[in-house]
Amino acid sequence: MSEQEHTTDRRGLLAALGTAGAATVMSACGSSLEGSGNVAADDELTERLVRLEAERAIVATLYAYGHALDYGDRDEFLGCFTPDASYVVAMRIETGNGFEAHGHDQFTAYFDNHTHAPAAWHKHITTNPMVRVDGDRAEVTSYFLRVDAGTESGSPVIVASGRYLDEFVRDDAGDWRIRSRRCEVENL
């Protein structure tokens, strides 16, 4: 890549970040829009920034799943998944209670049969995400807890915990969505 092509690529990336984001990144890295003159270092910086942006977007999708499920936002919930996604729930205890769903039609039925606030108060909490990005794909392992509200004056209760094993893909619009999810429930 020539220095001119590199500067053009860099300008496009920084334009996508917006003025404030670009200024922050460039200031923190001691760089300018015109480049450092070291194409390899600039390419490495750009690659690292793209990977970090991808990881951040993937984690945002993980969090959006819980918010949408807990508060009844079907469109946001479906937006976390590709239209052809698969979802497998495997139970460590009561193994026969697991289930599978494939595609948005089945996800819609799952969502509609799930409880949401204010009919039921619970939180799907995702934590400890381990994200490995490889181009337009990513493998993600994270932990989850489901916390249900107690009685009006009682303490909340953890009713389930486990881990998610996800495959993410970046779609044509640049959004990261879950293509497959294996939910391993360890204590329900």
Q: How far apart are CA 184 and CA 54, in angstroms?
A: 25
Range list of β-strands (E), 33-134: 81-91, 99-102, 122-134
How far apart CA 110 and CA 91 sit, in angstroms, is 17
In a domain, 110, yes or no: yes
> How many domains is the chain partitioned into structurally?
1
Q: Classify residue 7: in a domain, yes or no.
A: no
In CATH, what number is assigned to the domain containing residue 145? 3.10.450.50
| 62 belongs to a structural domain | yes
The pTM for the full model equals: 0.78
Strand segments, DSSP code E, in 38-156 are 81-91, 99-102, 122-134, 137-148
The tens digit of pLDDT for each residue in 9-58 reads 544 544 455 444 444 454 455 554 455 568 777 889 999 999 999 999 99
